[in-house]
Amino acid sequence: MWSFSNARLFDKCQRAWFYKTHVANANATKNPLQREAYILSKLQTIWGWRGKIVDRVISERIVPELRNPWALNPDRVLEYALLIHRKQSEFALLNRIREAGMSETKGGEAFAAFYAVEYGNGVSPEELAHAWEEVQQAVRNLLNMTELLDDLRRAEKVFKQRSLTFSVFQSKARAVPDLIAFFPNEPPLIIDWKVHSFGDRDYRLQLATYAVALARCKPHQDFPVTQSLYAPENIRLIEVQLLTNVVRPYRLTGQDVDSVESRIVESSVEMSLAAGENEVKALDPFDYPVAEYPEACEKCLFRKLCWKD
Query: How many whole angstroms separate alpha carbon 164 and alpha carbon 217?
Result: 6
> Are residues 27 and 118 both part of a single domain?
yes
> Are residues 50 and 93 both part of a single domain?
yes
> Are residues 164 and 186 both part of a single domain?
yes
Whether residue 284 lies inside any domain: the answer is no
Whether residue 167 lies inside any domain: the answer is yes
Q: How many domains does the chain have?
A: 2
pTM of the model: 0.92
Whether residue 224 lies inside any domain: the answer is yes
Q: Which of 78, 103, 79, 91 is nearest to 27 (CA)?
A: 103
Whether residue 161 lies inside any domain: the answer is yes
Whether residue 271 lies inside any domain: the answer is no
Query: Could you read off the pLDDT tens digit of each residue along the chain, which spans 309 residues?
Result: 899 999 999 999 999 999 999 999 988 888 899 999 999 999 999 999 999 999 999 999 999 998 887 778 999 999 999 999 999 999 999 999 999 989 999 999 999 999 999 998 899 999 999 999 999 999 999 999 999 999 999 999 999 999 999 999 889 999 999 999 999 989 999 999 999 876 556 688 999 999 999 999 989 999 998 877 899 999 999 999 999 999 999 999 999 999 999 999 999 999 988 887 655 566 788 888 888 888 888 889 999 998 876
> Are residues 59 and 160 both part of a single domain?
no
User: How many C-alpha atoms does 220 have within 13 Å on its Cβ side?
Assistant: 15
> Are residues 214 and 116 both part of a single domain?
no
Whether residue 10 lies inside any domain: the answer is no
Domain that holds residue 49: 18-144
> Are residues 161 and 95 both part of a single domain?
no
> Are residues 186 and 201 both part of a single domain?
yes
Per DSSP, which regions of the chain are E strands?
A: 157-160, 164-168, 171-175, 179-182, 189-194, 236-241, 246-250
Bridge partners of 246? 241
